[in-house]
Structures are given as structure tokens and as C-alpha cells.
Structure 1
Amino acid sequence: MKALVGLLAVLTLNAVAPAGATAAKDAAQKVYVLSQDDGTLSIIDTAVDEIIGQIEIPGKPAAFTISPALDEAFATLPDSGQIAVIDLRRQKLDRLLKIGGQPFGIAITAPGQLFVGDWSANVVSAVDPQSGEIVRKIPVGRSPAHLVATREGSRLYVADREADSIAIIDTRRFGVLQEIPVGRAPFALALSLDEKQLVVANAQAATLSIVDTSSLQVVSTLATRAMPYGVAMTGNDAKILISNQQGGSISVFDAQTRAPRAEIKVGRYPEGLVALKSGSKAYVANWFSASVSVLDLKTNTEIKRIKCPEGPRMVLAVSTEP
């Protein structure tokens, strides 16, 4: 299971605002941290950057997604072939969905379609989020890792880690539109706010592939530090953030010129990361340090390190505004 490393997700929302509005936007967000080793979902209040709640999950969860509409989180359990469904309002496990196989990457669309990648069967399944019934299986490349859906939910991007490609799925027809070759071992994905670009972190190639989502072509390839295992874009599409697993750092690139801008030291083996919608701060899961680094993206510095349960692998940010 060592190859099954953490995912990330990023909420890319409008970020240009006065200072007061920026603080209000950030205060209206929570960051959720999935710790695999301890089986815990921690909740960070971004106004004070402290953990304000923890939810136990059975087994060793690999990845998770959140449905703000349902107020639920869905975490994959590869060892037991299950999905843990967490009630975020009551902060407790609600139910377990038995789907079989080795579920890993997971995404839920705004309309409520749940998609789960099976690492060993090389398929992405559409799953009923209430019953766990598999509605349809869609063959993809080997070892589907991170999944990311467009806002309206008609398209799903899948990083096929052992196939060195990205699968683009039409979620309405349940079919693959195209497979795009990228670098070696693609793992993490991030969509720009306008959804015109998909950024792919190629872990073993130490590169980023920039995909034009209209032409479905790789338009640029950027060199990174060793083992890039997480990627995010700020809410105004100004910066690309990459977690360098082996170097214990975050690289910052200008999203327009694609030039490197900064290198920020964090904890050991950083993986998942997320930027707040204002673009002022980012949060990084440090797998081997059992911590989350808080980054100031104006000064490109680590401003705090939050201790959390063992094995943090993935972070998500969710707005608490209605």
C-alpha cells in the first residue's frame, strides 16, 4: 500500500477582495484533514488555525471528498473495500458503504454523483451515495489515483498513476472521452478556477503537466523538485503550489508565466495541500511529521504548524457560508 499516497483537493474560488472581506472569507472556511494512520478526520478553524473537532474513522482511510449540499464527507477504505460516510454536522460516522475492491480516489459532483476509483481493478465506479450500490463501472488506466470533477459535474478527470496518463470521463454517458499521456506516475490534480487548465503532478518524473481542457492537450511541462505529490491553485489562479515529498517543501509557481517564485520549508513528506478561497493562506498535510503547515501566501512563509493525528495525507477546504 506504500504506493497509495495521499491526495489533495483545492477549492478555487474568487479571491480578489479588500482586507476586511478577505478575513471574513477565510473565517467562513473550515479545513478538514484526513489522517490515515490514526483513522481520524480533524477540523481546523481557519480564523484561529486550531483543531476544533476530530471524528474517528474505522481502518486506514486513503482519501476523502465532501458534499456541502449533504453536509457529509466520504472517505475510502482500501483495506476493507468500503466507504465511510461522515455526518459533518453531528461530527460522527453515519454509515459504511460496502462496494468491494480497493477504493482509493474519490469525488462527488455538485449534482450528487459519487465516483470512486478502484486502485487494483483499474475502474472508476459511479456509486449511489446513500446505498453504496454501484451504478456503473468505467474502465480507465492502471491504478487510478486522484479524481477531480468540474463544478457542474459533467466531466471527471482521473490520474492513472501506472498508465502515465489522465482519463477524461463524461459523467453523463459514463464513458472515457480521451486518455492524455503525461509524465511518469501522475498522481495529484488541480483545476484552475475557470476550469480551462488542469495541473497534473507527475510524481516519478518530477514534473508538472499543464493540460488545456478545451483541446485536451498538454501545453506545458514544468520541472519540479523530487516526488511532487500534491498540487493546488490559489483562488484567483495566480499561483500554483506543489508539495515536494522528498524535499519537505512547497514550491510556488506563477500560474501565468509558470516561473518559479518561492520555496517554502514545511514538515517531513508533505502531500495534500489546499489554498483558502481568498488566496491568503494554504494548508499542507505533513505525512511523516503528523502536522499541518499553515502558509502565508503573501510572504511565502510558514506561519504555524498544527499538531494532528498520525499520518495526515489529505486536506480539503469548505465554506461555512450558506
Structure 2
Amino acid sequence: MRREAAFHRVALAVLALAVPGFGARADEAFVTEQVGDGVSVLDLDRGEVAARIPLGGRPAGVAVSPDGATVYVTSTEGKFVSLIDARERRVRASIAIPDTPIGVAAAPDGRFIYVTGFFEPFVYKIDVETLSIVAKGRVGASPSGVAVTPDGRLLAVAARDDDALVLIDAASLNLLATIPVGKHPFGVTIDAEGARAYAANVESDDVSVVDLKAKAKVGQAPAGKRPYVVALAGGRGFVTNQYEGTVSAFDLSTFAFAGKVAVGDYPEGLQASADGKLLYAVDWESNDVSVIDAEKLVVVRKIPVGDGPRAFGLFLRRTP
């Protein structure tokens, strides 16, 4: 049996993919390992695990602060968010969440993080200085992926069981629009211009493209079986397809299929390097990270990690 049972028991830890990071490349990856109950820190130049941080609570979602100093990780069964000192590689604090925390995204100014709770219809706004929840906003049934626009003003949240992408004012957490997309959207990505959001629809096997200014769906791109996360690089979108063990590509202008590459078993987390040359696909069942040449769509390296890696969110970090 695949991990479908665990998928439903922990309500599907999710991704909150954001815009690529801090410089020409990312030097480290913080890979959450849900089964292994920790985070592996990967040295991406060496292609190896440099450190492991135990967390507990079945960690899944991940985000990195804009300055790269802190990594935020949701623990689905523990119902808390851990704040990890990225340089010292230790847990600095934890924040209790009154639900099963799944997706997490960091505000561009570094002051807040936004966390979705899967069983209640809310997104939680957390002040990372006071370590407290300062607001919550209603977003619909089974909120999962969450992403923030580059200007920090808007949140896009996947309301999985409503088959919708929900747009939220980041300051007030007021609901601005509910946009029908494909069936059971999960991972959400916003482009570098803050113009479009991309939702991976796990049960309709496609990607919905939403114009954030118009607050409307403007396109649909093909994906493989059970797409989970979208990454953007070089004029193309890339999707992890869980049930195929592949990453597929589509053209961002025409939404046409643009190729596919086999990776590990049950790929979930996916992010492009800041220069757009590489993709990092996190393979849950084969316990590794596939490093992909984004232009040629070929796997150039496999990096072994711990048990049940997911890395849903912004997991790449530039080192000093």
C-alpha cells in the first residue's frame, strides 16, 4: 500500500511554495521528514546531509525567513510550529497551533508567518517576535497550501475541500475572493511578479492559473497523476506528480505540456534554485532528493535523506 492511509490520517501535510530565494543559488535545503520526525539539512554543493535536527510531531511544512536566519516547520501531529536557528541548526522556540498545522509561508518583511490548519477553516497569522498568534482568518474547507505575494499584501490559500483558491488581505486577514479551480487544490505558488498564482489540483490532475489582480482563473495546465507542488523557472512551470514518480513541465505562456522526467518514488516538495537552473524534488517513498537540470529535464544527482521526506514550502536557504 502506498502512503494514502497516512496521507488522510495526518490530513496531508502541505506545501506553501514561495518565490525563489536569496541570491544566485541556494546552498542548503531544510528537508522535513514526516516519518523520521526531524529535519535534514542538506549541503547542496556536496550533495549530502550536513546535519539533522530532531523535532517530533510529524514535521511537514517548511518556510525560510527572508534573511535566511530562521526556518519555520509545521508539525502535523504535534500541533506546533518550530522556529529553527538556521545557522546554529537548533530549535529556538515552538508555537502551539489550535489545529493540525500544514502549510506555512513567511512574510517578505520577516515579521509574520502564516500557517494553515487543516481541520478548521482558518489561516493563522503569527508574530515571530512575540511568538504568538495575533489573528486568524476564515478561508474555507481544509486549508492547505499558502503563499504570500512579494509585496506582502496578499495571501493565496488552497481551500482543498471547496475546490477553490482563496485570496486574503495579509494585514487584516479579510477574505477578498474565492476562486473556483480544479479538484482538491493543495500546493500554491505565486510568481516573482506577484501577478499569478498556480494551484496543483491533486484529484483533477492539472494546475489552475489565477490572475491575482483580476481575481479570476485564466488558464489550466496539464500535469501527471496526482500533482502536488508547482515550481517556476525559465518560463516554465514544473509539477511533482506523486503517483507517477515524475516531474512534468508546462509553458507559462501557452500552458502547453513541455516535457517530463522520472524522479524518485512519490515526489512531493519541489523548488527551483534562485538562478532557475536546478530543481529540487523531494521523494517521500524513496527517501531522497532528486536534483534536476531545469532546462534539459534530466536528473543530475540524487541526495539520500531520512525517512518520509516532504519539504512542503520554501526549503532552500542561501548561506552567508
Q: Which residue of 2 aligns with 1:302?
A: 299
Q: CA deviation at 1:37?
A: 0.8
Q: Which residue of 2 aligns with 1:18?
A: none
Q: Which residue of 2 aligns with 1:35?
A: 33
From 102, 105, 108, the counterpart of 2:103:
105
From 7, 13, 28, the counterpart of 1:2:
7
1:39-63 deviation digits (Å, cap 9, x = unpaired): 2222222323222222111221121
- Given that 2:21 and 2:318 are in contact with CA atoms closer than 8 Å, whether structure 1 keeps it comes out as no
C-alpha distance in structure 2 between counterparts of 1:136 and 1:299, whole Å: 44
1:120-144 deviation digits (Å, cap 9, x = unpaired): 1111111222443221111111111
Counterpart code for 1:240: G
C-alpha distance in structure 2 between counterparts of 1:85 and 1:38, whole Å: 18
Q: Which residue of 2 aligns with 1:67?
A: 65
Counterpart code for 1:62: A
Identity of aligned residues (%): 28
C-alpha distance in structure 1 between counterparts of 2:228 and 2:264, whole Å: 14
C-alpha distance in structure 2 between counterparts of 1:5 and 1:117, whole Å: 10
C-alpha distance in structure 2 between counterparts of 1:193 and 1:304, whole Å: 27
C-alpha distance in structure 2 between counterparts of 1:306 and 1:295, whole Å: 11
The alignment status of 1:318 with 2:317, answered yes or no, reads yes
C-alpha distance in structure 2 between counterparts of 1:248 and 1:161, whole Å: 22
**1:238-257 equivalence runs, <5 A:** 238-257=235-254
- Segment drifting more, 2-11 vs 111-120: 2-11
1:13-67 deviation digits (Å, cap 9, x = unpaired): 69xxxxxxxxx923x5322211111122222223232222221112211212111
Q: How many aligned positions are there? A: 309
C-alpha distance in structure 2 between counterparts of 1:25 and 1:173, whole Å: 34
CA 1:83/1:13 → structure 2, altered by over 3 Å: closer, same or farther?
Answer: closer
C-alpha distance in structure 1 between counterparts of 2:113 and 2:294, whole Å: 32
1:141-199 deviation digits (Å, cap 9, x = unpaired): 11110110012211111011111001111012220111111011000111122121111
- Given that 1:10 and 1:275 are in contact with CA atoms closer than 8 Å, whether structure 2 keeps it comes out as no
- Given that 1:13 and 1:193 are in contact with CA atoms closer than 8 Å, whether structure 2 keeps it comes out as no
1:236-287 deviation digits (Å, cap 9, x = unpaired): 4x11000110000000112222222211001110011011111111110100
Counterpart code for 2:107: T
Counterpart code for 1:92: R
TM-score after normalising by structure 1: 0.90
Q: Which residue of 2 aligns with 1:197?
A: 196
- Given that 1:207 and 1:223 are in contact with CA atoms closer than 8 Å, whether structure 2 keeps it comes out as yes
Give 3-state SS (helix, strand or coil) of 1:183's partner. Answer: coil
- Given that 1:98 and 1:132 are in contact with CA atoms closer than 8 Å, whether structure 2 keeps it comes out as no
C-alpha distance in structure 2 between counterparts of 1:91 and 1:13, whole Å: 19
Counterpart code for 2:237: I
Give 3-state SS (helix, strand or coil) of 2:285's partner. Answer: helix
Q: CA deviation at 1:116?
A: 1.2
1:80-102 deviation digits (Å, cap 9, x = unpaired): 22111111111011122123222
Q: Which residue of 1 aligns with 2:213?
A: 214
- Given that 2:198 and 2:209 are in contact with CA atoms closer than 8 Å, whether structure 1 keeps it comes out as yes
- Given that 2:17 and 2:146 are in contact with CA atoms closer than 8 Å, whether structure 1 keeps it comes out as no
CA 1:267/1:8 → structure 2, altered by over 3 Å: closer, same or farther?
Answer: farther
Give 3-state SS (helix, strand or coil) of 2:108's partner. Answer: coil
**1:151-162 equivalence runs, <5 A:** 151-162=150-161
TM-score after normalising by structure 2: 0.91
C-alpha distance in structure 2 between counterparts of 1:269 and 1:68, whole Å: 29
1:206-233 deviation digits (Å, cap 9, x = unpaired): 1111111110111111232110011110
Q: Which residue of 1 aligns with 2:263?
A: 266
- Given that 1:107 and 1:116 are in contact with CA atoms closer than 8 Å, whether structure 2 keeps it comes out as yes
Q: CA deviation at 1:70?
A: 6.6
- Given that 2:259 and 2:297 are in contact with CA atoms closer than 8 Å, whether structure 1 keeps it comes out as yes
